[in-house]
Structure 1
Amino acid sequence: MTLLRLVLAAWALVLAAGQVSAHEIRPVSLEVREVAQDRYAVRWKVPAVEGRIMAIRPRFAAKCTGWRDIMPRPDGDSAVARFQVRCPGGIAGTRIALENLSRTMIDGVVTVELLSGQTSVTRVRPTAPSMVVPASTSALEVFRDYVVVGVEHIWFGPDHLLFVLALLLLVDGWRRLVVTATAFTLAHSLTLSLAALGVLRIPVPPIEALIALSILYMAVELVRKARGEERSQVSPWLLAFAFGLLHGLGFASALAEVGLPNHQIPAALLAFNVGVEIGQIAFIVVVLALREALRRISAPAERAAYWCAVYGIGGMASFWVIDRVAGF
C-alpha cells in the first residue's frame, strides 16, 4: 500500500467519523439532590447534536409531582433544565425513566444525593432506560460507581485515546515509556483535581480546541520521527506533562456532567481518577500487544500500521481543531 493510499484511507475514516460528531457525545445527566424532607432539586442536562436538542425527558414515578412539561433551555452544546419535585415518603424505591433514551445510542447517568449524605450513581442504558433509586448505598458502592464512570469516559473519549496512542508511538524503550506515562498521569490528575474542586475555572471550548491541537502536534512529531528528521527539543516526559495538564481539564469537564457527591467528594474524585487510569492502562496493554504482533509478522506490516495510525491521528485532530475553534 502506497503512502498516498494510506493518506486517502485515513481521510476517508476522518470524514466518515465527522458525519457523526466532532465531539464526544456525552451521556444525558440527571442530578437529584434532596433539599428538604420529600423535596428534591433536579438538574437535567441533555446533549445537542448538530444544534438539535435530543428529545429525551426524565419521567418520575406517579407519586412524585412537579416534573411534567419541563423543557430544557440551550446551554452551549447541551440543554439544561432545573426544577423541583416532591416525592411523599422519600425517593428511595422510586422508579425514574429516561423517556426516548431507547431510541438513541447514548447512555444516561442518574445521580441521587440525600441529606443524610447517601449518594448513588447509576448508569442507564438504551436497552434498559430506567432505574430504581436504591434504599441505601455504601461508600464502597459510590467508589465503584465513580470508577466505572472514569473507565467509560476514557473508552468512549476518542481524543484522549488518540493522544495516548501518539505517546506510545513516539516513545521508544520501556523505561522512557514508563516515565512519560507517569508524567502524563501526574499532570492530568493535578488539573482534574483542581478543576473538580473549583480551584481552576476555565471555559470548556478553548480547552477542547487545545486538546485537539495537542494531538495534531503529536502527529507532526510522529511524521518527523518516521522520516528521521529533527524533532522537538522538548523531552517526551515534559511534553506529556504539559499536554497532560490540558487533558486533565478535559476529564474535569466530563466529571462535571455527572457531578460529585457533596459528602464524599475526595473519595469520588479519587475513584474517577482510578477509573481513568484503569481505562488508560487497558488501552496501552492492547496497543502494545498489537504492536508486538505486527512486529513479529513483518517489518512492512509494522510500518504500514504506523503510517495508518499517524495519518489517522493527524487527520482526526485537524478536523477537531477546525470544528472546535469554529464552535467558539
Structure 2
Amino acid sequence: MKWLLAMLLGLLLVVPAAADELRPFAIEFTERQPGNWTLDWKQPLASPDEDELIVPQLPANCTMLGRPVVRAAPMALIAHAEATCAGDVSGGTIGLPQLVGNSDALALVAPLGRPVQALRLTASEPQATIAAKPERWTVARDYFAIGTEHILMGWDHLLFVIALVLLVQGGWAVVKAATAFTVAHSLTLAAVILGYAGLPQRPVEALIAASIVFLAVELARGKGDSWTRRWPWIVAFGFGLLHGFGFAGALREIGLPEGEVPVALLTFNLGVEAGQLLVIAAVLALRAAVGRLVPKADAPALKAATYAIGIVAAYWLVDRVLA
C-alpha cells in the first residue's frame, strides 16, 4: 500500500513552487546584409540571483563584434550582439555546450534571401550544423519534441490533465474529455499563432491555475451529481480554450521558422498530444494497479492526490495574481 501511494503522489511532491512554462534557451542568428549578422538570444534563469551570461558559439567563419548588450527580464537575460561572417555559414555549426540535464535550446538561423531553419540543441547534442537548405523533416522532428516536452515539463498543464483523468475516472468519458480538451486548445493555439486571437500572458497563467483549482474542488466534493461530472467534456473544452493561450505563449517565445509555420505548428501540437496521452495512460494504469492490488488504498490515495493538486494550484493562483 505504501509504495503505491508513493507512486501516485510522487509526481505531485516534486512539482516546483512556481510552474513556469517551458522556457528553452532561444537563439536567433540573422543575416541583415551580406556578411553582417545579428545574434539575439534569451537565456532562462534558474533563480533570480543567477546573472552569468551564456554566449552561443557561432560558426568558425564568424566573429562577434564587441561585447553583447544585455538586459534583464523576468527569470531571463536578453542579449544582442553583432557579428560578421566570411562567406557562407552553410556547413558551419552553432552551439551551446553549457546545456546540462534536460535543458534544450532552439536556434533560428536566417541567411539573407533563404528560408529560416530551426535547429534544436540539447545537452547530449549541444551543436547543430547549419544546412544549405533546411529539411522539412528536421522542423517537424524538432517541434514535435518541443511539444512533447512542453506538456511533460509544463507542470500546470500536466496537473490539469491529471486532475481531469482522476475526475472522469475511466472509460469513454476520459476519451471524450481528453478529445474535447485537445480540440479546444488546438483551436486556440492555431488562432493565436496565425494572428486571429490573443490574450495577455499573465492573466492567462492565473486563469490556468484557477482551472486546476476548480477541478480539485470538484474532486474533493466526491461522487455527487455535479454539472462537471455529468458533462466533463464541456468543462474540458472550455478550459482547453484557455490552456491553448498558454501553449501559444510558450510557442511564441520559442519562435517559428518562416516558411514552415504550418509544419511547426502541426507537429508542436502533435507533440503536446503525444505527451498528454502518455500522462493519461500512466494515471489510468496507476489507478488500475491500485484498485487491483490494494483496493482499500484507492480512496485515500485519491483524496491525498486531490488535496496535493489543490494546494499547489492555489499557491500558483495567488502567486500569479500578486506577481
TM-score w.r.t. the length of structure 2 is 0.87
Q: Do the aligned residues in 2 keep the contact of 1:57 with 1:100 (CA within 8 Å)?
A: no
* 1:320 maps to 2:309: no
| CA deviation after TM superposition for structure 1 residue 169, in Å | 0.8
Shift of 1:25: 5.6
Return the offset for 1:128.
4.5
2:86 maps to amino acid = P
Query: What is the SS of the residue equivalent to 2:72?
Result: strand
Cα displacement string for residues 201-223 of structure 1 (whole angstroms, at most 9, x for unaligned residues):
32211111111111111101100
Structure 1 contact 118–136 (Cα < 8 Å) conserved = yes
Structure 2 CA distance, aligned partners of 1:213 and 1:77? 23
2:140 is the counterpart of 1:143: yes
Q: Secondary structure at the match of 2:174?
A: helix
For structure 1, which segment, 256-265 or 168-177, has the greater mean C-alpha deviation from structure 2 after superposition? 168-177
Secondary structure, aligned partner of 1:101: coil
Corresponding position of 1:154: 151
Query: Offset at 1:315?
Result: 1.5
2:106 corresponds to 1:101: no
The residue number in structure 2 matching 1:181 is 178
Q: How far apart are the structure 1 equivalents of 2:270 and 2:108? A: 19
| Structure 1 residue matching 2:44: 3-state secondary structure | strand
The answer for the alignment partner of 1:255 in structure 2 is: 251
CA distance in 1, matches of 2:238, 2:230: 10
Within 5 Å, which residues of 2 pair with 1:1-328? 17-18=15-16, 21-24=18-21, 26-55=23-52, 56-66=54-64, 68-98=66-96, 100-102=98-100, 106-115=103-112, 117-226=114-223, 228=224, 230=226, 232=228, 235-327=231-323
Partners of 1:117 and 1:281 lie apart in 2 by: 37
After superposition, what is the alpha-carbon deviation per residue over 1:158-210, rounded to whole angstroms, capped at 9, x for unaligned? 11111001110111452222221111111101111111122223221111111
Structure 2 vs 1, CA of residues 168 and 67 (structure 1 numbering), >3 Å: closer, same or farther? Answer: farther
- Alpha carbons 1:22, 1:319 under 8 Å: kept: no
Q: Distance in 1 between matches of 2:229 and 2:15?
A: 33
Q: CA deviation at 1:67?
A: 5.2
2-side partners of 1:277 and 1:115: how far apart? 35
Runs of 4+ in structure 1 over 4 Å off: 16-19, 229-234
Counterpart of 2:162 in 1: which secondary structure?
A: helix
Partners of 1:47 and 1:54 within 8 A in 2: no
In the alignment, the residues of structure 2 paired with residue 79 and residue 208 of structure 1 have an alpha-carbon distance, to the nearest angstrom, of: 21
Is 258-267 or 167-176 further displaced after alignment?
167-176
Matched residue count: 318
Report the 3-state secondary structure (helix = DSSP H, G, I; strand = E; otherwise coil) of the residue aligned with 2:221: helix
Distance 1:203 1:53, change over 3 A: farther
Structure 2: gaps spanning 5 or more residues: none
| Contact in 2 for aligned 1:26/1:47 (Cα 8 Å) | yes
Structure 1 residue 267 displacement after superposition: 1.5
Partner secondary structure for residue 30 of structure 1: strand
Deviations 1:272-306 (A, max 9, x none): 11111111112211221111111111222222321
Say if 1:221 and 1:232, in contact at 8 Å, map to a contact too: yes
Q: Which runs of 5+ in 1 are unaligned?
A: none
After superposition, give the CA deviation of every residue in 1:118-174 in whole Å (9 maximum; x if it has no partner).
Answer: 443333233553333234432122112211111111111111111001110111452
Name the TM-score, length of structure 1 as normaliser. 0.85
Q: After superposition, give the CA deviation of every residue in 1:236-272 in whole Å (9 maximum; x if it has no partner).
A: 1111111111110111111112211111111211111
